[in-house]
Amino acid sequence: MSNSSLVSYTKLSPNYSNRTEKISKITVHYMAGNLSVETCGEVFAPSSRQASSNYGIGSDGRVGMYVPEDKRAWTSSSAWNDQRAVTIEVANTDSYGTFTTAAWNTLIDLAVDICKRNGITSLNFTGDKNGSVTWHCMFSATSCPGQYFKNNTQRFVQEVNVKLAPAKQRTHKLQIWDWSNNTNQKFWYRSLGNNLYGIRSVATNEWISDPNSSTTQTDAETWGGADNGTATDDPRDPQILVFEKVHELGGYYIHPQVAPNLSLDVAGGSTTNGTKVQWYPSNKTLAQEWHFIPADGNAYYIINAATGKALDMKGGGWV
């Protein structure tokens, strides 16, 4: 059984047992502090501590290893879970348990690596010990893994599964549809600084894109990235968007950075379900005004001001 090549620091803990079960789970913990991978290793070094984890991730995104994967770390207050899980401690920056972007991105990469080497084709979270992603608090009265990871567990599962999926082209047209709790209508956005953003589908991790960096009217779509069609950690040029605030009460005109003369637009301002969403010359009408309404898991519904309907990823799934 191998260990992750992402490891940049190793300090082996004496606190472990032989692993007797096949690895089939990942359990993410928070460190309850902003510890470096070196400091976390020191915490697990004394045998009197009676605790350890397989890996740790610092806020700088570096990975430490404390117990090899062929051994059971003592992490989750459950021998049953830790026999089946690779456990990962992640540094958090506040009492909410927030992970830095660097730590989050490394967590995704490390989880993908663990899954690939151990024959796990996809992750699932069921809210109890039966899923392949588990929480420490399922087995003990603890706040671990913190509210941040609890709120982002489904995002974690989805981001890992997208990277585990076979490389294929992933693209979907965008439309409007009656507002519902459908995952096809939920999006995350990522700030890139300087008023630049990316908007990503919760359903498939695809970024909203201006196809082929068009500077003339064209259908809006989502796209999975430039690397053989798989999702990327950051949006690429046709996926980088400019948000122009409409007024103090909210609302945005959304433009592709590569074509600031275009705006995200409901074709003809139609209120019919299934009306296409397009990149259209900016005219600052209500058909081009969008409002971000909080959903679950730090996601948003993106609602059109002219129609009151939600931005929707046509078809869902992967094509």
Segment 67-126, tens digit of pLDDT: 999 999 999 999 999 999 999 999 999 999 999 999 999 999 999 999 999 999 999 999
Q: What's at 16, amino acid-wise?
A: Y
| Average of per-residue pLDDT across 245-249 | 86
The pLDDT assigned to 195 comes to: 87
Lowest mean pLDDT among 14-28, 136-150, 203-217: 203-217
Does the domain at 7-164 match CATH 2.60.40.420? Answer given as no
User: Among all chains, which residue has been given the structure tokens 């069921």?
Assistant: 126
297 — pLDDT class (breaks 50, 70, 90): confident
pLDDT in tens, 5-14: 999 999 999 9
Rounded Cα gap, residues 65 and 55, in angstroms: 4
Closest CA to 239 of 262, 214, 209: 209
Which alpha helices (H) appear in 78-215, and where do they start and end? 79-84, 101-117, 146-151, 153-164
| Average of per-residue pLDDT across 29-36 | 97
CB within 8 A of 173, min separation 6: which ones?
219, 220, 221, 276, 277, 314, 315
The pLDDT assigned to 237 comes to: 73
* Cβ atoms 54, 68 nearer than 8 A: yes
| CB-CB neighbours of 31 under 10 Å | 24
Rounded Cα gap, residues 196 and 256, in angstroms: 9
pTM, rounded to two decimals = 0.60
Rounded Cα gap, residues 155 and 169, in angstroms: 21
| CB-CB neighbours of 296 under 10 Å | 10
Rounded Cα gap, residues 45 and 62, in angstroms: 19
Rounded Cα gap, residues 79 and 63, in angstroms: 24
pLDDT in tens, 117-166: 999 999 999 999 999 999 999 999 999 999 999 999 999 998 898 788 76
Residue 308 bridge partners (DSSP): none
The pLDDT assigned to 249 comes to: 78
Of 2.80.10.50, 1.10.1740.10, 3.40.50.720, 2.60.40.420, the CATH number of 171-313 is 2.80.10.50
Q: What's at 234, amino acid-wise?
A: D
Rounded Cα gap, residues 268 and 282, in angstroms: 13
Lowest mean pLDDT among 75-84, 199-208, 267-276: 199-208
* Angle value at C-alpha 293, between 289 and 295, nearest 5 degrees: 145
For the chain, what are the domain ranges?
7-164, 171-313
Strand (E) or helix (H) holding 189 = strand 187-193
**Residue 228 confidence (pLDDT) above 50:** no
Rounded Cα gap, residues 313 and 301, in angstroms: 12
247 — pLDDT class (breaks 50, 70, 90): confident
Rounded Cα gap, residues 296 and 183, in angstroms: 10
% of residues, the chain, pLDDT over 90:
78
234 — pLDDT class (breaks 50, 70, 90): low
The pLDDT assigned to 232 comes to: 45
The pLDDT assigned to 164 comes to: 84
Q: Which residue did the predictor score with more confidence, 314 or 54?
A: 54
**Residue 55 confidence (pLDDT) above 50:** yes
226 — pLDDT class (breaks 50, 70, 90): very low
